[in-house]
A and B are shown apart, each in its own frame.
Chain A
Amino acid sequence: MKLTRSINLQGVVFTIDEDAYQLLKDYLADIESRLPQDEQKDVMDDLESRIAELFQSALFAQKSEAVTIEMVRDVRARTGEPDEFGENKRPKLKREWITRQGIGRVLAIVLKVILIIIALQVLFPVLAIIFALLMAFFGITIGGSALLPALGFELLGGSTAWTCVLCVSVILALAMPVYMLVHWIVKYSRERKHPSLRFWIITLLIWILSFGGLAASAGKMIKVNGPDLVTAIETFDQMAEEMADEIAEEAD
């Protein structure tokens, strides 16, 4: 028992065995891929008409109702191998490599590369965001409350909105270069192409805007009295001495 299909060759319907159908389909697809665009329709129509005629003769001669794989092979021997129709446009090296390595191995490598790319695309921005959040948190709390006054900046406090602007700006300022770099690597490894000019313009604009946001929010939340480096150094010295004393006392 064999599975069959129904095909239409230039208006003539044939019942064809499944294996014969696959062979015929691959044969026609291979020929079509070799033909120049402006000749494809004409040549394929002529070829299909001829194949239909040959199938009809074979079915009549063999008193068969379904086209068999032998009939397809006979037709192929008569109409010619695909290379008679034109050069193979697919790169030879790739095909030979696939044959040598086995399609299973190639698929496994492709899947691995895709997984790595996805992991990189997810991992890098997540790490960048976590890093930026940590930086923003410590920058605002510790830096803001301890170091900034020592450097001559006066903390004014700020609205929740400006605090948000500051956080988002810090995140974008740190994350955008990482994102640009990762996108560049991924695009080049995948398509052997550099990102478009549009991509660079948009990402650079966002990056520049993030610095604008940073400056604006800092301007609202911090008052600059002029950095007093001498006071700052004295404060650090004092803090260091106090810490040293504490350690010495604990040691005693």
Chain B
Amino acid sequence: MVENIKSQMRKGILEYCILSIISRQEVYTSDILEALHGADLLVVEGTVYPLLSRLKNNGLLKYRWQESTDGPPRKYFTLTDEGQELLAALNQEWGTISKAINKITK
């Protein structure tokens, strides 16, 4: 029960975090995974791939292929204009939510 709620909370903010990571610079999938691992936000990587695909299909992300010398070709992601707009809206929303949660839980 507790784990399920925690997992749902993390999943809910994962899209926002992914958009935020990609907005900083052009990144490839493993960079996103490392950033999420580093922030202790990711339990397993499997949740990220469907999200990336969905964000791309909704026109929020775009990618280009780059050959790699030590592995398969890599997808490098950037935000589209639509993605930038959504991120700005989410930043604002997160500020509101964060204030509300702090107020309630104090």
Contact = CB atoms under 8 A, between A and B. Distances in A.
Nearest to A55: B71
Interface string B39-50: 000011111011
Interface of A: 9-12, 31, 35, 38-39, 42-43, 46-50, 52-53, 56, 77-82, 84-86
B57 A49 contact: no
B62 interface: no
Contacts of A56: 70-71
Contacts of A38: 57
B44 A46 contact: no
A10 B53 contact: no
Contacts, number: 71
Interface in B34-75: 43-47, 49-50, 52-54, 56-57, 70-75
A43 B71 contact: no
Interface of B is mostly: helix
A81 B47 CA distance: 10
A10 B47 contact: no
A56 B50 CA distance: 23
Contacts of A53: 30, 71-72
A93 B46 CA distance: 26
Contacts of B33: 50
B35 to A, nearest CB: 15
A172 B47 CA distance: 62
Contact of A50 (B29, B43, B54): B29
A39 to B, nearest CB: 4
B53 A11 contact: no
Contacts of B49: 42-43, 46-47, 50, 85
Contacts of B54: 39
B72 A12 contact: yes
A176 B45 CA distance: 61
Interface in B67-106: 70-75
A9 B75 CA distance: 15
Given A50-B30, A50-B45, A39 B57 contact: yes
30 contacts: A10-B72, A35-B50, A38-B57, A42-B53, A42-B56, A42-B57, A43-B50, A43-B53, A46-B29, A47-B46, A47-B49, A49-B71, A49-B72, A49-B75, A50-B30, A50-B33, A52-B71, A53-B30, A77-B44, A78-B45, A79-B44, A79-B46, A80-B43, A80-B44, A80-B47, A82-B46, A84-B44, A85-B46, A85-B49, A85-B50
